[in-house]
Amino acid sequence: MKSSHILLSILAGSLLFAALGIWMRAQATDFLGYGDGDTTGEAGLEQDVERSPGQAETRTLEPIAAPEARGRAGGEPSVSGTVVELRGRVVDSITGDGLTALIEVTGPGGRRAVLADRGTGDFELTVVDAGGRVTVSAPGYAAFDGEVAGGEARIDLGTILLAPEEHRSGRAVDDAGRPVAGADV
């Protein structure tokens, strides 16, 4: 009886992780622009999301820290501050292959994001006031989270290694293929 509880627990956990992974992938692909193409959101804050190299599109992003805005001719707000270029490369920590990853920078100038190049993992992102939080994420990989100090016109973040996520499941059986109760794995 105990082995069937263990097996059911493992099966339920595996199904939960699979459902969570599918949901997270759907959220990521929707954000990255592979979904239905809707770029509107409740926050109403539109910012540029750059696609390396040089292509840009507008996405609505939820602001974490709203920049101080002041009006300019035409009534559109503008953000003042130092313009900084961030660059780097995102790779698989095991194979060294470049990854398609989402790089987000949140700081005094608001939130900006860029999608790293699909083949090389290279990215460039122009932000206002570089001081802030950097998050790098890719489906199937553990996310990287760090901070960047401002003060320079160009900041090279270097190579960012993302480790593949590990999901393991299974069951312990004896030589006849029957489940083993209380097995240490």
pLDDT at 86: 86
Please enumerate in sequence order all residues whose Cβ is within 8 A of that of 63, keeping only pairs 6 or more positions apart, or say none. 43, 45, 110, 111
pTM of the full predicted structure? 0.49
Does 101 have pLDDT greater than 50? Answer: yes
Q: Minimal CA–CA distance to 58: which of 87, 82, 38?
A: 38
| pLDDT digits 0-9 by tens, 1-60 | 565 656 556 655 555 455 445 545 544 444 444 444 333 333 333 444 444 444 433 343
Of 160, 162, 96, 104, which is closest to residue 133 (Cα–Cα)?
A: 104
Residue 64 pLDDT grade (very low, low, confident, very high; cuts 50, 70, 90): very low
Tens digits of per-residue pLDDT, 117-175? 888 999 998 887 657 888 999 999 999 998 877 667 788 889 999 999 887 777 888 88
